[in-house]
Structure 1
């Protein structure tokens, strides 16, 4: 799952010409924390809430 999420997020960011830093700012988290979520390093309940926001924002 994390690998699949990472691929989808990176693909959508590339299509939208958006950086992870910009996405993190929209969500209200640090770019490092966003990277950890995308890479599957953070998987707790709070991270899962952020995953929902990421998917909604990027429509994936």
Structure 2
């Protein structure tokens, strides 16, 4: 799932003319932490909540 999520997020970022840094700022986290979540390196309950917010913000 992480590879699929990563691709979807990157496509939506391009469509919305956003950067990972801008998305991370909107989510209140570092770009490095956001990258870890999107790439499946973080997958705990907190990360799952962040994934829900990412999907909502990017309309995935």
Q: Do they fold alike, i.e. is TM over 0.5?
A: yes
Aligned length: 60
Structure 2: tracts of 5 or more residues without a match: none
Structure 2 match to 1:58: 58
Structure 1 match to 2:7: 7
Q: How does 1:16-27 map to 2 (within 5 A)?
A: 16-27=16-27
The alpha carbon displacement at 1:17 in A equals 1.1
In the superposition, the TM-score normalised over structure 2's length comes to 0.98
Structure 1: tracts of 5 or more residues without a match: none
Structure 1 match to 2:47: 47
In the superposition, the TM-score normalised over structure 1's length comes to 0.98
Runs of 4+ in 1 over 4 A off after TM superposition: none
Q: Distance in 2 between matches of 1:48 and 1:28?
A: 15
- Root-mean-square deviation (Å): 0.4
